[in-house]
Every structure is written in structure tokens, then in C-alpha cells.
A = this chain, B = another copy of it.
Amino acid sequence: MIRVGIVGGTGYTGVELLRLLAPRDEVEVVTVTSRAAAGRRVDAEFPSLRGACELAFVPPEEAPLSDCDVVFFATPNGTAMQQAPALLDAGVRVVDVSADFRLRDAGEWAHWYGMEHACPERLAEVAYGLPEVHREAIAAAQLVANPGCYPTAVLLGLLPLVEAGIVDPRRLIASAVSGASGAGRRERADLLLAESSDSTRAYAAAGHRHQPEIRQGLDLAAGVPVGLTFVPHLVPQVRGIHATLFAELNTDVDVQSLFERRYADEPFVDVLPPGSHPQTRSVRGANTCRLAVHRPDSDAARVVVLAVIDNLVKGAAGQAIQNMNLMCGLPETRGLSCIGVLP
């Protein structure tokens, strides 16, 4: 039995971790923390969990986290870097679903997240939790930085091109949209249904925190610094990320075959047949990334990749569990066989 703790259980990643973990036989969620909701039953906050979770939220300092085998941080940025070191020292495996350990460079992290990093000395031991790239490192790691939602979709879509060295690495463009759950459970007027329904808008068009995270992954794959423009958007849906990726080929290759080969053995990456357009609804609730590759008629050198994920599953809780499975020596797909809820 794997004993699991969840730090910060009142957000969407928290409830999604519980949705996916509660039915499992070999996993027991033993504690879910929340300072604000301490004492309240988890299923009072999230009625979907009635009958599946008998826990109440506990304050983090009262939670038996160091007795857990795995602890997930589903906290706002800045918390995991404070609390994870003690757990690591106690031998606990940690999957941080926040952004604290995603960037290797503490200075760049401080620039984008507006605070000093609390434990830069730990960054060298972090595995970046994208199994399709770092599977072995994840399996060996005690601390995994779960990728951001946009980085997951964009990296899975661009990596085959960049790894193969067949596109101009200075001219990568990612235009991506996210459902409102991607903004987290923040009580902001602009995220109200009355304001964000029936409307689309970009945000952070001049620079978003996920850009350096994506770029770091692409740099590694390219072996040289890449140029990436990334523009995120909010669309009126609950879940789902759709990334539309543009690159310029520097050689004429069969990109469809390239993608199919790259992901042939990946259980959670599905390359669609030529001519396809993946829909976010096809992965709603599922841990799958679906990809399609297009060569526009209008420009011989252009390749367009379309990538969809559920931002709360492959983009957060599902991938975190995939990482937990790897870290614990379980089959990687265990507990992640949910089929997309469609319609």
C-alpha cells in the first residue's frame, strides 16, 4: 500500500488527484491539507467525492506528511520550496505540481515568480516530470517537478521536430488556449462565468511564466538556445488546452512518420492520422495528449502541429500520478486508464 499525502487540497489539482486516486486499491490517501478549510470534510467542499473520500482537511502542520510514501504539492507557487526539503530529508518522495522546481536556474525562477528561491541547492536533483523525455530520471528521483499545463502540450508537440533538428530553432511559435480551470480556483471577477463565458481573450502576450519553462525543455532538446514566442488565451470552457504550434522546416521530411515513430511506445501520446484535428473534448478527464501534424498548402516550409490535453489530467494531476507510478515502481499506466468523457 502506497501512503499518499496531498498538500493544498482545496484547488482543482487537489480534487482531481482525489478523483483519480480514490478508486485505487494499492494507494491510500492518508491526509489532505488546507489551512483555510481545516476541519471541513473534503466531500463537503467537493460533493463529487461523497462516498469516495472520508477525510477532512487538516492544517499542514498537523498532517502526517513525513509518514507518507509520496506527497503531492498542489499548492500555490512558493509553498513547496519551503516544505519539501524536510520531507525529502525524511525520505518521502515528492511530486510538486506547482512551479517551484520547474526551472533549473534559480535566478530565472526568481525573475518570473517574483520571489527568491528558498532552496536553490535542491534544483540539481530535480527530475522534470515529463515521462516522454525523462522517464528514467523520474523513476530514480526523489523530487519531481511536474510540468506546467501549457509546457506539457507545447513540448510534446514541438519536441519531435526539435529533437530531429529539422526546424529553424529560432522561429518557434506557440499559440495556445486554455479552459478556465487552468487559472486555478481564484476568486477573480474576470474568471466569473458572467465575464468569461461566450468570450475569448489572450493574456500575458508579452511574456508568460510558462515561456521559460517551455524554452528550457526545447533548449535541451535542440542543444542550442531556441527562439520561442508563446501566447496563451482563455476560452470559455472548463477544461482543455489546445496548442497550435508553428515551425519552419529546414529539410523535407515526412513529419507524420516522424511523430508516429517518436511516440510509438508512449502510452499517453496519441498521434492522429494525417488530416486530423484533435478536439479537447476527446481527452476530457483522460491522461492522453493527442497530436496532429499538418503541412499547409500555402507554404512549403511550414509545419503546423496541433496538441490537446486535459489541463487537469495530463497537464497536472494525471501526469503527477504517472510520475508517482514511475517513482514507486508501479506500471506507469496504473489508475490512468480513464477514457475521455464525450460528449
Chain B residues positioned under 8 Å from A343 (CB to CB): 12, 15, 181, 194-195, 238-239, 312
Contact A229 B197 (CB under 8 A): no
Instruction: List B contacts of A202 (CB < 8 A).
Output: 242, 244, 277, 306
**Number of copies of this protein chain within its complex:** 4
A29 at interface by CB-CB < 8 Å: no
* A201 x B279 contact (CB < 8 A): yes
Collect the chain B residues with CB atoms within 8 Å of residue A50's CB: 270, 272, 282, 290
Residues of B within 8 A of A306 (CB): 202, 205
Closest residue on chain B to residue A174 by CB atoms = B175
Number of interface residues of A (CB under 8 A): 95
| Alpha-carbon distance between A68 and B254 when the two chains are bound, in angstroms | 44
Are A193 and B207 within 8 A (Cβ)? no
Contacts of A180 in B (CB 8 A): 192-194, 197
Assuming the A-B contacts A191-B192, A192-B192, A233-B242, are A285 and B282 also in contact, with contact meaning beta carbons closer than 8 angstroms in the complex?
Answer: no
Task: Assess the B237–A197 pair: CB atoms within 8 A.
Answer: yes
- Contact in complex: A290, B244 (CB < 8 Å): no
Contacts known (A192-B180, A202-B244, A238-B198); A19 close to B52, Cβ less than 8 A: no
- A251 contacts chain B at the CB level, 8 A cutoff: no
Complex Cα spacing A297 to B228, Å:
10
Mask for A179-217, Cβ within 8 A of B = 1, else 0?
111010111110111111111111101110001000100
A135 and B198 alpha carbons, distance in the complex (Å)? 32
A310: nearest chain-B partner, CB-CB: B341
